[in-house]
Amino acid sequence: MTRWRDPGVTPPETLGSTLGAVAAALGRAGFDEPRRRARRLVAAALCLSNAEVFAHLDRMVTEDDAERVAETLRRALAHEPLSRIAGVREFWGLEFTLSAGTLDPRPDSETVVEAVVARLPERDRAYRFLDLGTGSGCLLLALLSVFPQAGGLGVDLALDAVATARGNAERLGFGGRARFAVGDWARALSGRFAAIVANPPYIASGDIASLPAEVRDFDPRLALDGGIDGLDAYRAIAADLPALLAPDGIVACEIAQGQEFAVAGIIARGGLVIEETAADLAGTARCVVARPPGWGPG
């Protein structure tokens, strides 16, 4: 059998011994939870589910299987996220294709979707949504999965991201309700939206070098770099929001830890009223929610 490309790893003969060899390599490299990572890695490399791996631990591994696992392991040892290696990420129960121009969606970003869903109780209403910095399209398409009559527009500066988002919309069955365009935030847009969502770049330029390698080396810098203080994108967005928001509309912007007061101040100075700062599952302030002036539930 062909030797694995990772030094020190010998060719396993079954899925069970494959798991052990991969976990050992990850453990030697200092990765936490190497057994869990190994299960996911082997499953991804061989296009299996975790359950299928466990159900067939005695399955013999072919030479082609070993090569695929070895290549996936090599990339993982270089700190490439498994979602990047596989080219997909699950978000809001949907599977999104990734590309070099898209941010890898994280579970924390679901806080933005939750904030909008909690404030729009009429599921069958034909809402119109706007997603600024759409990336893979995950925020907009997650909302469309909840509101079956709604439509929306996703805007991104990266052509590759727009193409990827458009492909995700078609594959997930939302192509008829989602449009995507290359643009500089909300500039040149018109009309009114029931909800505007955004996960803009919010990392201070000087902090990018200290990010984990999984983020620094594999997420596009355009989706990370928020300028000197990490707040440039919010300043660019804030002034355009009031003119694009419906009278009873919602703005929900993702933020980094510790940015809630600064971002809330920028959005308020742009002309909106801050309703809440929503926390993610870890209790970290993750999303600033704003409304038009004079809005009220009654």
3-state class (DSSP) for residue 180? strand
pLDDT for res 93: 97
**How many whole angstroms separate alpha carbon 141 and alpha carbon 240?**
23
Distance in angstroms (rounded) separating the CA atoms of residues 128 and 126: 7
Contact 140, 134 (CB under 8 A): yes
Q: Domain coordinates of the chain in residue numbers?
A: 15-78, 88-291
Question: Encoding tokens for residue 149?
Answer: 């009559």
The SS3 of residue 197 is strand
The CATH fold of domain 88-291 = Rossmann fold (3.40.50)
Task: Tally DSSP H helices, then E strands, for the chain.
Answer: 12, 9
Encoding tokens for residue 197?
Answer: 């969502």
- Contacts of residue 5, defined as CB under 8 A and 6 or more positions apart, other chains included, come to 67, 70, 71, 74
Task: Report DSSP letters for 149-166, one per residue.
Answer: T-EEEEEES-HHHHHHHH
Token pair belonging to 182: 């290359």
Consecutive sets of 10 residues in the chain, 298 residues long: mean pLDDT of each?
47 83 95 94 92 88 92 97 95 97 96 98 96 98 98 97 98 98 92 97 98 96 98 97 96 97 98 96 96 78
Q: Amino acid identity, residue 130?
A: L
How far apart are the C-alpha atoms of 38 and 43, rounded to whole Å? 8
pLDDT of residue 1: 34
Q: What is the pTM of this model?
A: 0.91
140, 256 Cβ separation under 8 angstroms: no
Residue whose C-alpha is closest to residue 291's, from 259, 265, 268, 260: 268
Cα–Cα distances (Å) from 215 to 23, 79, 125, in that order, read 22, 9, 37
